Amino acid sequence: MAIWDDILTERDKEVFAKSGYGKKAGFGARPAVLVIDMNYNFVGDKPEPIVKSVERFRNSCGEEGWQGVYHIRELLEAARKKQLPTFYTTGHEGGSSVVYGRWHSKNSRGAEDIGNKWTKGNDIVAEIAPQAGDVLVRKQKPSAFFGTPLISMLNELHADTVLVTGCTTSGCVRASVIDAFSYNFKVSVVEECVFDRGQSSHKINLFDMNMKYADVVSLKETLDYIADLSPTLYAPGL
């Protein structure tokens, strides 16, 4: 049973099945890992229930976020053994309203982002912090690709697959998945490694991405795939 089955109507199931959506695209030959917005703003500074965590971190996903941290750490350990290129995203530093753009027009607590209330909010959590050779991409909008050099770096590596992790499923993950799909990458969303503050939005967005833009894959399936890759896949000159 898929995680989204309990929120689909019988009509939804019939229509998507008859329409042919949800075919598995599979992994490619040259994957890169994308870790989206795994910073303290989105998980809080410690594991605690989301309704508690959002009192201090308005964007926090609470305990589900920290479960994601631990699963992403497991994936990164495997990816680094094969020297897979790894890209992180996080928000821009600085408190100018120009930087935040339209974000604050949809949140009554947006003013909390300006000032020094939590100076490390955009730092990647220490448990999965970038290591030497990893790339940190700062972005202003939901997609990891919008207004950033990410696509040029993936092209330089001749990557054909993006393994997507991070948050939120309905926001920056989805936006990045659609852009990666639009650039003709094979896209795999690692289910245990993504999360959302909304339980229903998490499920329905996983369903929708799996139907049209990406494969939603298990962590185990992803680890097995990585294990079969050559350790010299990204050796210089290859």
Instruction: Tell me if 193 is assigned to some domain.
Output: yes
pLDDT value at residue 1: 86
Place of tokens 């909010």: 121
Instruction: Tell me if 6 is assigned to some domain.
Output: no
Q: What is the mean pLDDT of the chain?
A: 93
Distance of CA 186 to the CA centre of its chain: 15
Higher-confidence position of 43 and 112:
43
Q: Which amino acid would we find at residue 20?
A: G
The reported pTM is 0.93
The angle formed by the CA atoms of residues 26, 199 and 59, to the nearest 5 degrees, is 100
| pLDDT value at 12 more than 80 | yes
Instruction: Tell me if 16 is assigned to some domain.
Output: no
Give the count of domains, the chain: 1
44 three-class SS: coil
Q: What CATH number is associated with residue 161?
A: 3.40.50.850
Instruction: Tell me if 57 is assigned to some domain.
Output: yes
Lowest mean pLDDT: which of 69-73, 141-145, 186-190, 232-236?
A: 232-236
Judge contact between 147 and 153, C-beta under 8 A.
Answer: no
State the helix-helix crossing angle for 174-182 and 199-212, rounded to 10 degrees. 10
Annotate 167-199 with b (16+ C-beta within 10 A) or e (fewer). bbbbbbbbbbbbbbbeeebbbbbbbbbbbbbbe
Instruction: Tell me if 13 is assigned to some domain.
Output: no
Residue 36 parent element (H or E): strand 31-36
Long-range CB pairs of 17-21, under 8 A, 24+ apart, other chains included: 21/211, 21/212
Instruction: Tell me if 33 is assigned to some domain.
Output: yes
Instruction: Tell me if 232 is assigned to some domain.
Output: no
Instruction: Tell me if 238 is assigned to some domain.
Output: no
Q: Give 158-181 pLDDT, tens digit per residue.
A: 999 999 999 999 999 999 999 999
pLDDT value at residue 106: 77
Confidence of residue 110 (pLDDT cuts 50, 70, 90): confident
Q: What percent of the chain has pLDDT over 90?
A: 84
| pLDDT value at 200 more than 90 | yes
Which residue range(s) make up the domain with 39?
A: 27-227
State both tokens at 135.
């790339």
